[in-house]
Each structure stands twice: as C-alpha cells, then as structure tokens.
Amino acid sequence: MKIIIFEPHPDDLLFGPGPILLDWIQEDHEIHIITITDGRACYRSGEDSYSEDVTSMTEDDVAEMRINEAKKAINFLGLSHQNHHLLKFHDADGQKYVPDAIEKVKPIIKDVERLVFPSDNNKHVDHQATHDIAVGADQDLKLMNAEYFVYFIATYGQFKEDSKDKQIEYTVSEEKAEKLQEWLKIYESQRKIKYTWKMYVRYLKNIRIWTYGIYKYNDIGNYYNI
C-alpha cells in the first residue's frame, strides 16, 4: 500500500500517527512523509519557560534545527529520505500557504491508497491548514478509492460522537511506548521548552489508548472531523 502522511510540524509525525506508523513500517508499505512547515515559531509565544540558549537563536536557526530533527526522525524510523517531502512553509502562517501547498502535494498524492492527516476543526492553525491542504488536494484529484486516516493531537481537539463508528482505538504496548520515548529524544528543540517537554514525556509514558478515524471519500464534509 502507498501511504502518505501529512506532518504539520517536525515532531507531529510522532504525536499524530506515531505508534501505528511503527506497525505500518513493519508491514513494508511504501510510506511517504510530507512535512508542511519548518517549525520556526516554536519559541515565539513566550508562554513557557525556555532554556537560556533560546534567546540567542534566530527563527532561521530554529527552523534549521527542527528540519534537521525531522530528517533524524526519518533515519530513526528507517524510512527513505527520497520519500520525505519538506515543503518548509513558515510555521504559524496557517491559511496563507494552503493554495500553494495544494498544488505542491498533488503530484505526490495522486496514486495514494491511504492518506493520513490531522482532523478538521483543529485548534492549531497549522494543523487546520494541513487538513485543508490534504482534503483540498484530494478533492481536486477526486481520489475516490483512497482511505482517509485522520489523527488528532490531544491538546488541539477531540473526535466527536457523530463519527463514532468510523473511529478505532489503538492500544500501545509497553515495548512500543519505550520506542516512542526513544523517538522523542530526537526533538532537542522541544526539550528546551520546560513544561511542554514534561507534558510530552508524561504523555508517551502513560497514554496507552490512541484514537484515530478512518473515512472514505464520500465522508468528506459530512462529519465534524473531516
């Protein structure tokens, strides 16, 4: 199966499809990753406590660090760098890049069998933009036979009851939880954010049930999450 995963920022591959992606890799599918943004805005809000070196970093420095982390994650997972598509749109610009991104991704997804992307009605502007890119490109191409695999990062929203029959609960084994925690260590940029890092570590250590949604082309626009 050809699987294409949309990653809004470097590190969303882990917190979106992360655990089930480990299974897909073992199943030997053709897997492509589309990383939409460069992650440059992760220290912009000032709403957390940061390590001292953050103050000396430009946003270009941050973007370079985070893009390199995205590449390291591809190495960690044993995926092909030829199948890693870095769009490098500026982080936090949201809807500005949707039309351009749709055109960029259409040649990549034209023969996809499973399309993986964030939920609709997402609190994070870049995650919502990524949903809109995936669905917009899909509808332009009319990919009637593809499977639409939707994920939600917990802090940005939730799955709704209207598509309960479309949802699956995935149980993370202890072995897999340890693998996810090893994967997290790649993202040194996030370690510089004190409380966010603690939350990430706790989440991967303690959460054993992850929810996903699986939809069809004709479901698009008929549910809260797609």
The pLDDT score that the predictor gives to residue 45 is: 82
The pLDDT score that the predictor gives to residue 154 is: 85
Condensed to tens digits (0 to 9), the pLDDT of residues 36-77 reads: 999 999 999 877 899 999 999 999 999 999 999 999 999 999
Distance CA 183, CA 221 (A): 34
The pLDDT score that the predictor gives to residue 18 is: 98
The amino acid occupying position 64 is E
113-129 average pLDDT score: 97
3-state SS of 140-170? HHCCCCCEEEEECCHHHCCCCHHHHHHEEEE
Instruction: Provide the sign of the torsion angle of the four alpha carbons 209, 210, 211, 217, taken in this order.
Output: negative
Given the structure tokens 């044993």, which residue do they identify?
78
The pLDDT score that the predictor gives to residue 200 is: 96
Distance CA 43, CA 192 (A): 9
The pLDDT score that the predictor gives to residue 46 is: 76
174-184 average pLDDT score: 97
Distance CA 91, CA 35 (A): 11
Evaluate if residue 93 carries a pLDDT over 90: no
Residue 94 banded pLDDT, cuts 50, 70, 90: confident
DSSP state of 40: T
Which of 190, 210, 198 lies closest to 21 in space, CA to CA? 210
Given the structure tokens 């940029």, which residue do they identify?
189
Mean pLDDT over the full length of the chain? 96
CATH 3.40.50.10320 fits 2-218, yes or no: yes
Look at phi and psi of residue 87 and say left if phi exceeds 0, alpha if psi is from -120 to 50, else beta. alpha
The amino acid occupying position 159 is F
Adjacent-strand bridge partners of 84: 33
Evaluate if residue 136 carries a pLDDT over 90: yes
Q: Map out the domains of the chain as residue ranges.
A: 2-218
Adjacent-strand bridge partners of 37: 89
192-219 average pLDDT score: 96
134 three-state secondary structure:
helix
Look at phi and psi of residue 78 and say left if phi exceeds 0, alpha if psi is from -120 to 50, else beta. left
